[in-house]
Amino acid sequence: MQTIANSASQGQITLTFWLHFAHDKLTLAQIGGINAVQIKLKLLADRLRLITISLVTCLCAHSLMAEKLSIETPKPVAVKPASVDTIVLLNQGQIEGKLLTVDPDQTVYQIQLVSGGILSIEKDQVDRVIRQNHSLDEYHRISPTFADTAKKQWEISHWCSQHRLKDLAMLHAKRVVQLDPNHSKAHGLLGNSYRNGEWIPREVYLKSKGYVKYEGSWMSLERAALREIRTRTNERYLQWQFDLMQWRRGLDDRRVEKTNIKLIEVQNPDAVPGIIYLLGKEDNSELQDAYIKVLGNIGNSSAINFLIFNSVFQNNERLRNLCLKQVLRHQTPYFIQRYARYLDHYDNGIVNRAAYALGHLKYRSSVVPLANALVTRHINEDALDDPEKNPIYFPSRQPFGHRFDVKGPRPSKIHLTTDGFNAKSINPYGVVKIKNRGVRDSLVYISDGVDFGFETTAWKSWYISQLTIRVPTIRGRRDE
């Protein structure tokens, strides 16, 4: 009998452990985003079901034995939830609990966990601490002391507003207008409107104007429809990303449930974010090639934009050229504008990469923007005092590995010109003119061997001459 009772007790401990385990898994899964949760959720649910079946069996036996031995089963004690802080780690994992240590001189954080217990963690492992509004605890302490009158309920509502407890401030304001229907300040806080001698609730007024409530916010019907479309689109993106991750894991682990995905046949535009995600994580060069080819097969705007961008900014030359190869499958004169925008970039390497792409498009309408980029202005690095101590960030010179860099350069550097770079600098750099051999090579290639060197005017004149309309000679029919 003692064994059965111990088993039941052990079952309770086991359930408590797995409930905490589930909570921690869902919390730590935020490191990898929603995809990590989706991947682990099914396995975790299966484990919990097995544990629950075992626990029920143990508890039933425990209940019967307790009746025979007159053992009173302890009742669960309700724990009042408290506001918690969020501690974000350097690896972007999160820990929820109440921060006990606030002394800036201490090197260790003491955290009272939601699941119980105290955790110590070194401060140098913490990225940031998001402190919650502990005024909620103070509210629970003082709110019973305020009488149920319009005056006192307005005072507690005002206190809540000052302490950023918006929902509670609104709750007490609603009580105020119940007690005093003409309390203008409470109506103002609730957003009610005074029309034709009466107060109209905010909800009624907004509905009369054609607004709808969507996910807790009031907005126009059109905006709500767009947000719903965006939400459903994101759900499709996530489903494809989850399925593709399962497919990829199945290549390395036979135990993973197989999917029906045939990668090379994927043409659904919703798969693009998932393909890009896998590309950024892939070490296998053959799969990298396959992912890029699939993006070319899909060929929608998001896939093409990604390929165009990385045919310039991807520092791995092999991967950069693979992107350009897929761009050329869909080439159109519109792409001239897309590449020409990088011809005045402050990074000379980016200028020549964009020119290389324009040359392979081989549209003669590229001649003018290329001619303008034959000689470009760049920072005079030879005049820098100590370039190693204060290096300049150049996107084309950033180190790279065998993986595809899906993040790309710093956003502020993508369309930055030399003049723009200097405008942002405290001490402007000296500028030097550089002849771009890559630009000249592209012009020669486009013109089928014509070469005017770095003479911008000569290239433009040649282009204009190619546009001259030659009217053919039309011979009339000779009557015999």
| Cβ–Cβ under 8 Å, residues 366 and 328 | no
Q: Model confidence over 138-186: pLDDT tens digits?
A: 888 899 999 999 999 999 999 999 988 888 999 999 999 999 999 999 9
**Measured between alpha carbons, how far is residue 245 from residues 240, 276, 281, 307, 460 in Å?**
8, 11, 10, 21, 51
CATH code of the domain made up of 85-132: 2.30.30.100
Nearest-5° angle of CA 17, CA 19, CA 25? Answer: 100
- Flag whether pLDDT at 301 surpasses 70: yes
Flag whether the pTM goes above 0.85: no
Q: Find the range with the poorest average confidence among 82-91, 252-261, 277-286, 292-301.
A: 82-91
- Kindly tell me if the per-residue pLDDT of 231 is higher than 90: no
Q: Place 279 in a pLDDT band, splitting at 50, 70 and 90.
A: very high
> Percent of the chain scored above 70 by pLDDT?
76
Render pLDDT for 7-19 as a digit per residue (tens, 0 to 9): 444 444 444 444 4
Interatomic CA distance for residues 79 and 62, integer angstroms:
25
pLDDT of the residue at 32: 40
Q: In which band, very low, low, confident or very high, does the pLDDT at 82 lie, cut at 50, 70 and 90? A: very low
Which positions ≥6 away from 379 have C-beta within 8 Å? Answer: 346, 392, 418, 421, 422, 429, 430, 431, 432
Amino acid at 273: P
23-79: per-residue pLDDT in tens? 444 433 333 444 444 444 444 544 554 444 444 444 444 443 434 333 333 333 333
CA distance 458 to 443: 12
Q: From CA 463, how far away is CA 66, in angstroms rounded? A: 98
Residue 479, pLDDT score: 53
Task: Report which residue type is found at 18.
Answer: W
Q: The domain 136-209 belongs to what CATH superfamily?
A: Tetratricopeptide repeat domain (1.25.40.10)
- Write the DSSP assignment of 135-174 as a string of letters: HHHHHHHHGGGS-SSHHHHHHHHHHHHHTT-HHHHHHHHH
Q: How far apart are CA 251 and CA 244, in angstroms?
A: 11
Residues in the chain: 480
pLDDT at residue 327 in the model: 97
How far is 168 from 159, CA to CA, in rounded Å? 10
User: Tell me, what's the pLDDT at 147?
Assistant: 94
Q: What is the dihedral of CA 191, 192, 193, 198, to 10 degrees?
A: -160
Q: What are phi and psi of 100, to 5 degrees?
A: -90, -25
Write the CB contacts of 28 (distance below 8 Å, at least 6 apart in sequence). 93, 94
pLDDT at 359 over 70: yes
Per cent of the chain over pLDDT 90 is 46
Q: Do the Cβ atoms of 370 and 358 come closer than 8 Å?
A: yes
- Over residues 316-328, the pLDDT tens digits come to 999 999 999 999 9
Average pLDDT over residues 349-373: 96
